[in-house]
Copies of this chain bind each other. A is one copy, B any other.
Amino acid sequence: MTELRTLKVALLGCGNVGAQVARILIDDAGTLAPRTGARLELVGIAVRNLDAEREVDLPRELFTTDGETLVKDADLVIELMGGIEPARSLILSAIQNGASVVTGNKALLAADGPALYEEADKAGVELSYEAAVAGAIPILRPIRDSLSGDRITRVLGIVNGTTNFILDQMDSTGAQFADALAEAQRLGYAEADPTADVEGHDAAAKAAILASLSFHTRFDLEHVYCEGITRVSAADIAAAKEAGFVIKLLAIAEKIGNGDGSEGVSVRVHPTLLPREHPLAAVRGAFNAVFIEAENAGELMFYGQGAGGTPTASAVLGDLVSAARRIVLGGPGRIESTTGHVPALPIDAAITSYYIGLDVADQPGVLAKIAQLFAEHGVSIEIMRQTIHRDADSNVESAELRIVTHRASEAALAATVEAVKGLDVINSVTSVLRVEGA
A positions within 8 Å CB-CB of B: 20, 24, 28, 31-32, 34-37, 130, 136-138, 141-142, 145-151, 216, 279, 282, 294, 296-305, 308, 310-311, 313-322, 325-326, 329-332, 334-335, 337, 339
Residue of B nearest to A309 (CB): B296
CB-CB under 8 A from A35, the residues of chain B are 148, 216, 337, 339
Residue of B nearest to A124 (CB): B329
CB-CB under 8 A from A138, the residues of chain B are 138, 142, 145-147, 300
CB-CB under 8 A from A146, the residues of chain B are 130, 138, 141-142, 315, 318, 322
A320 to B149, CA, bound (A): 8
- Decide if B330 touches A149 in the complex (CB within 8 Å): no
CB-CB under 8 A from A303, the residues of chain B are 279, 300-303
Residue of B nearest to A313 (CB): B296
A312 vs chain B, min Cβ distance (A)? 9
CB-CB under 8 A from A305, the residues of chain B are 297-299
Residue of B nearest to A142 (CB): B138
A-B contact pairs, 25 of them (CB 8 A): A20-B296, A32-B149, A35-B148, A37-B335, A136-B296, A136-B298, A138-B145, A138-B300, A145-B145, A146-B318, A147-B314, A147-B318, A148-B317, A148-B322, A149-B318, A279-B303, A294-B314, A296-B314, A296-B317, A301-B302, A301-B304, A302-B303, A329-B331, A329-B334, A330-B330
CB-CB under 8 A from A313, the residues of chain B are 296
A345 vs chain B, min Cβ distance (A)? 20
A337 to B136, CA, bound (A): 21
Looking at the complex, which one of B31, B147, B279 makes contact with A282 (CB distance below 8 Å)? B279
Instruction: Evaluate whether A332 and B335 lie within 8 angstroms (CB atoms) in the complex, with A297-B315, A314-B150 already known.
Output: no
List 4 A-B pairs, minimum CB-CB distance, nearest first.
Answer: A331-B331, A149-B317, A138-B146, A34-B339
Instruction: Evaluate whether A330 and B329 lie within 8 angstroms (CB atoms) in the complex, with A141-B145, A314-B147, A339-B35 already known.
Output: no
- Decide if B302 touches A314 in the complex (CB within 8 Å): no
Question: In the assembly, how many copies of this chain are there?
Answer: 2
CB-CB under 8 A from A279, the residues of chain B are 282, 303
Instruction: Evaluate whether A137 and B314 lie within 8 angstroms (CB atoms) in the complex, with A321-B149, A329-B335 already known.
Output: no
Instruction: Evaluate whether A24 and B149 lie within 8 angstroms (CB atoms) in the complex, with A37-B335, A332-B330 already known.
Output: yes
A148 to B326, CA, bound (A): 13
CB-CB under 8 A from A322, the residues of chain B are 145-146, 148
CB-CB under 8 A from A136, the residues of chain B are 294, 296-298, 300
Instruction: Evaluate whether A296 and B24 lie within 8 angstroms (CB atoms) in the complex, with A35-B337, A279-B303, A302-B302 already known.
Output: yes
CB-CB under 8 A from A148, the residues of chain B are 35-36, 317-318, 321-322, 325
CB-CB under 8 A from A316, the residues of chain B are 149
Instruction: Evaluate whether A150 and B317 lie within 8 angstroms (CB atoms) in the complex, with A279-B303, A299-B304 already known.
Output: yes
Residue of B nearest to A333 (CB): B329
A316 to B303, CA, bound (A): 23
CB-CB under 8 A from A339, the residues of chain B are 34-35
Residue of B nearest to A330 (CB): B331
A147 to B319, CA, bound (A): 9
A42 vs chain B, min Cβ distance (A)? 13
A282 to B289, CA, bound (A): 15
- Decide if B149 touches A314 in the complex (CB within 8 Å): yes
A37 to B338, CA, bound (A): 11
CB-CB under 8 A from A311, the residues of chain B are 296-298
- Decide if B294 touches A298 in the complex (CB within 8 Å): no
CB-CB under 8 A from A142, the residues of chain B are 138, 141-142, 146
CB-CB under 8 A from A20, the residues of chain B are 296
A326 to B24, CA, bound (A): 30
- Decide if B300 touches A137 in the complex (CB within 8 Å): yes
